[in-house]
Structure 1
Amino acid sequence: MAVLAVLLGVAGAGSGRLQSSEVAVAATGLRFTEGPAVHPDGYLVFSDIPADTIYALRDAGPEVFRRPSGQANGLVFDGGGRLLACEHANRRVSRTEPDGTVTPLATHYQGKRLNSPNDLVVRSDGAVYFTDPPYGVRPEDRELPFAGVYRVGTDGAITLLADDFVKPNGLAFSPDETVLYVADTDRGWLRAFDVRADGTLADGRVFARTEPSGGLRPDGLKVDVRGNVYVAGADGIVVFDSEGRPLETIALPERPANLVFGGPEGRTLYITARSEVYSVIVRFAGALGAARRAD
């Protein structure tokens, strides 16, 4: 693998209202990248699922952050700077302490093993929200008859928030954390839920609808400070405004899986896409995550 300072001619700088630079390759020579997250110190970490490795991307290039990773998928840092991971192979959500100790956060719901936790986000109150589709789990190995969205409270209690998804995937909060957006990949839907005062969800609705076959097939997603929703899809990063209207597509050479805002001003979009990691500068910064709020 390598770090490249290569600009790609897939979209010109300033070609849209939001994209402000060319797309650049940040790392290459990987197998299947996912789960980008920005450490409080500013560097990027990401998963390479088949390599069973979480990498940290520093100036000298990718270096091993954690191996084995449990074939980690989604990653996020909490307010204490600890890495939370959705471990596909271990069917759990974990927390990696600063000394490298790995602590399980969620493994079962009502005595039954989780399916395959996929992505997660931390709210400012410290609660962890995650999706649990059945990717990679044989039907005979499933213990839960549904694919859910869950909340793990600061007391460790696991609450099922929604169970009517086909395959819930990426998720992100609105800037004020009153709305949770969740990708329902196989249906081609982006769904939105109001977040109650107690952290549970209400008023689920379809925020944006696409054709599930050959269409967007939404995967990872993030939100900027203006409330625009950035979604990894078949053609690149598709951006919707807060009303669900499409604004722009940031084209990429490979199909993206996930994304995160980072950089000195929070306007660098890091995108995991198959064998490479890309970066592009956009007009608005990302909404603050838990790790950045703690700075």
Structure 2
Amino acid sequence: MQRFPARPLAVLATIGVLALTGCGTERAAPGEAAAAGTGSRTIRAQKVMRLTQVHAETGMTLLEGPTFDGNGDLLVVDVTALGGAPKVMRVDVGRKTSRTVHTDDRGAYTSAQFSPYDGRLYLSDFAHGEIVSLDPDGGDPRTFFSGEVDGARMNPDDIAFDRRGNLYISDSRGLSEGEARGRVVRIDREGGKATVLAEDLAAPNGISFDADHRGLWFSELTENRISYLRLDGEGEVTSRHTAIRVDGGIAQTDSIAVDADGNLYQGLHGRAAMAVYDRHGERLATVELPPRAEGLESATNVAITPGGTKAYMTVSGPAGGYLYTFDALAEGTRQSNGG
């Protein structure tokens, strides 16, 4: 059976910075793992289009970071694309077409978000520990943040913005070593100050504010749990607790999006499905692909249309990188772009 490498390790292998140090997650059979809880329901997603094929150089493709721009267009990143191939794509979901927004010879981008402060597109470069920004059309690339935070370089995975434009980042540091050295980091909107909000985490991945911007949800990939950071008006942590334990079986907790009602959409790496919880931790639904879908192994992320309920989920595996759509439980907001 073909094996599918864990996402951050694949990123490192793709750009050739470090050796691949871990093995992958076996594909789950339909109906396996992450069974819906009592009273939850199944939401059946439908295929929109295939965006990418497996890259010959890396043996995989991995779509991530779906986010809507100010015109309502959907942008998506391909984590494993090499230089010359599209690393950021703009998708016309109506016409089922896409075009390249950005490529380069260096970055391994795991997320994309538009800043409410300057309107630029921000990308997390997992392998180089940097945050890069582009203008909305993909030009004018700038390094927004680089270097160490409290003496250690980041492996930035997902990004969330507060209303002022400050960045909150899941730092998956320690993943390749299997050590709980991950962090949640805040970077001010000018890129001049970085602050560690939480540490000793097990490969933090998804990150999103709740519907009221009172706190942050973040997932830990290697512990299959979602935690909650309560914040004060200045973005300082007032409390932290484990909020949800995800019964994922062989699947692991990936990115998180939040709808207008505060429901959490938890992506699953290692299973082409998504778990949906309310803010109290009740399992409301499981988003599944049609039974006939084959060769798709991870539903990493989702974006819900701003002001609407149409959701677009990034799904990848040996069959390629796809967009699937489903009806979300509530309307989309800025926090409905999953990092």
TM over 0.5, yes or no? Answer: yes
**In structure 1, the residue corresponding to 2:222 is in which secondary structure?**
helix
Q: How does 1:1-295 map to 2 (within 5 A)?
A: 19=43, 22-30=45-53, 31-52=61-82, 53-58=87-92, 59=95, 61-68=97-104, 70-79=107-116, 80-98=118-136, 100-110=139-149, 112=151, 114-134=153-173, 146-156=181-191, 157-211=193-247, 213-214=249-250, 216-233=251-268, 234=271, 236-252=273-289, 253=293, 254=296, 255-262=298-305, 265-274=307-316, 275-289=321-335
The normalised TM-score by structure 2 is 0.72
Give aligned pairs, total: 270
Q: One-letter code of the match for 2:46?
A: V
Q: Which runs of 5+ in 1 are unaligned?
A: 1-9, 11-15
After TM superposition, give the deviation of residue 18 of structure 1 in Å. 8.8
Aligned equivalent of 1:3: none
Task: Please list the CA deviations of residues 194-228 of structure 1 after superposition, one character each: whole Å capped at 9, or x if unmatched.
Answer: 011111223111111134652x5210111111111
Give, in angstroms, the shift of residue 121 of structure 1: 0.9
TM-score under structure 1 normalisation?
A: 0.82
Counterpart CA distance in 1 for 2:247 and 2:305 is: 30
Q: 1:135: Cα distance to partner?
A: 7.3
By how many angstroms is 1:112 displaced?
4.1
Q: Which amino acid aligns with 2:120?
A: R
What is the CA–CA distance in structure 2 between the aligned matches of 1:135 and 1:283, rounded to whole Å? Answer: 35
Residue 22 of structure 1, CA deviation: 4.8
Q: 1:150 to 1:40 in 2, by over 3 A?
A: same
The 1:39–1:74 alpha-carbon spacing in structure 2 relative to 1, beyond 3 Å, is same
CA distance in 2, matches of 1:185, 1:287: 25
RMSD: 2.7
Amino acid in structure 1 at the alignment position of 2:121? L
After superposition, give the CA deviation of every residue in 1:39-60 in whole Å (9 maximum; x if it has no partner).
1111111111111411111236
Shift of 1:272: 0.9
1:7 alignment counterpart: none
Q: Tell me: CA distance 1:227–1:61, structure 2 relative to 1, closer, same or farther (3 Å).
A: same
Identity of aligned residues (%): 20
| Deviation digits for residues 15-55 of structure 1 (CA, Å, limit 9, x no counterpart) | x8795x75232334332111111111111111111114111
